[in-house]
Amino acid sequence: MKKCKRITKLVVLLMMVLLSAGFAFAGDLDVFKGEKQGLKISGGTAHIPVMEEAAKRIMSFNPDIQITIAGGGSGAGIKQVGEGLVNIGNSGRKATDEEIAKYGLVTHMWAIDGVSAVVSPKNKVKSLTKEQLQNIYSGKITQWKDLGGEDRAINMYTRDETSGTREVFWEKGLNKGDISGKANVVASNGAMKSAVANDPYAVGYMSVGYLDESVAPVTLEGVIPSIATVKSGEYKVSRGLYSNTKGEATGIVKKFIDYLSSAEGKKIVVEKGFIPAE
């Protein structure tokens, strides 16, 4: 009998904890009650997992809200929100002073991310210096054997010039060094992961938040790219994740951006492999 009572108390306590957590999250969504407006979002591809999860929860809470999410890269997000084609334009870099002035943008940073060089898990070379990485991307080093790997050519992958991921990698990983015109160009973090995962002689780069067992992060100057090393500041190739609006955010746009920094929003950010901004 005593054992049954103890079990009953534990069940009640557990239910209270779960309910209190549910109420807390429901409270974060309460601001969307009664909303019937749609929301269009585009831009940086690193943002998409967080955007999709946030949108799913909001639309489940209030089915009258319709949120559409597209990629296209940071440059596209900034341009499209500036031209009024979308409500929120995401970017993996801060908008330039010229872009802010041209479009009247207001930037909202809600997460911090790192950008990691990646290779196939089958590749023996999983540690590089910055100089070696720069020499790979400039085309000075073309063979894996020169880095302790197999006697095979290095297949380089990069992003297009509007990509925020590319800009951060170029600026902080390559110290603004050259990227060879022979590099294969892919359209998104997801496409980069797929390309490198399926090419044992590839090297590319992608958001730390996208890393999984299908690719191997490259230790750079002795530091392994990870959420922990980005958060500590030990891994330097990092950036903010931004949502940009044309003018100050209002209405459902403001509610969505504020939600990303709420208790539930921060939980989503962490679950998707990023660090919530303070």
In the structure, what pLDDT confidence band is assigned to residue 278 with cuts at 50, 70 and 90? confident
**4 pLDDT higher than 90:** no
Say if 19 falls within a structural domain.
no
| More confident position, 228 or 278 | 228
Please name the residue that has the structure tokens 């990069």: 158
Statement to judge: residues 86 and 162 lie in one domain? no
> Measured at the alpha carbon of residue 17, what is the angle toward residues 15 and 21, in degrees to the nearest 5?
115
Structure confidence by residue, pLDDT tens digits, 114-147:
999 999 999 999 999 999 999 999 999 999 999 9
Structure tokens at 213: 């067992």
Say if 5 falls within a structural domain.
no
Q: Average pLDDT, whole number, for the chain?
A: 91
Confidence at residue 45, expressed as pLDDT on a 0 to 100 scale: 93
The long-range contacts involving 145-151, CB below 8 angstroms and separated by at least 24 positions, are 148/124, 149/123, 149/124, 149/125, 150/124, 150/201
Say if 2 falls within a structural domain.
no
CATH assignment at residue 52: 3.40.190.10
How far, in Å, CA of 45 to CA of 50, rounded? 10
Structure confidence by residue, pLDDT tens digits, 212-270:
999 999 999 999 999 999 999 999 999 999 999 999 999 999 999 999 999 999 999 99
Give the bridge partners for 159, in sequence order. Answer: 186
In the structure, what pLDDT confidence band is assigned to residue 27 with cuts at 50, 70 and 90? confident
Statement to judge: residues 170 and 206 lie in one domain? yes
| SS3 state at 249 | coil
Structure confidence by residue, pLDDT tens digits, 178-189:
999 999 999 999
Say if 20 falls within a structural domain.
no
Statement to judge: residues 107 and 244 lie in one domain? yes
- Mean pLDDT along residues 144-160: 97
Statement to judge: residues 139 and 231 lie in one domain? yes
How would you label 19-56 residue by residue, b for 16+ Cβ within 10 Å and e otherwise?
Answer: eeeeeebeebbebbeebeeebbbbbbbbbbbbbebbbe
In the structure, what pLDDT confidence band is assigned to residue 26 with cuts at 50, 70 and 90? low
Statement to judge: residues 151 and 107 lie in one domain? no
Say if 93 falls within a structural domain.
yes
Instruction: Supply the range of the domain harboring residue 210.
Output: 114-238
Say if 30 falls within a structural domain.
no
Structure tokens at 23: 């109420």
- State the pTM of this model: 0.81
Structure tokens at 59: 């639309």
Statement to judge: residues 91 and 206 lie in one domain? no
Total of domains in the chain:
2
Confidence at residue 21, expressed as pLDDT on a 0 to 100 scale: 42
Statement to judge: residues 226 and 254 lie in one domain? no
How far, in Å, CA of 241 to CA of 212, rounded? 20
Structure confidence by residue, pLDDT tens digits, 70-91:
999 999 999 999 999 999 999 9
Lowest mean pLDDT among 4-8, 27-31, 258-262: 4-8
Say if 256 falls within a structural domain.
yes
Statement to judge: residues 222 and 260 lie in one domain? no
Statement to judge: residues 226 and 145 lie in one domain? yes
Say if 10 falls within a structural domain.
no
Do 38 and 58 form a contact (C-beta atoms < 8 A)? no
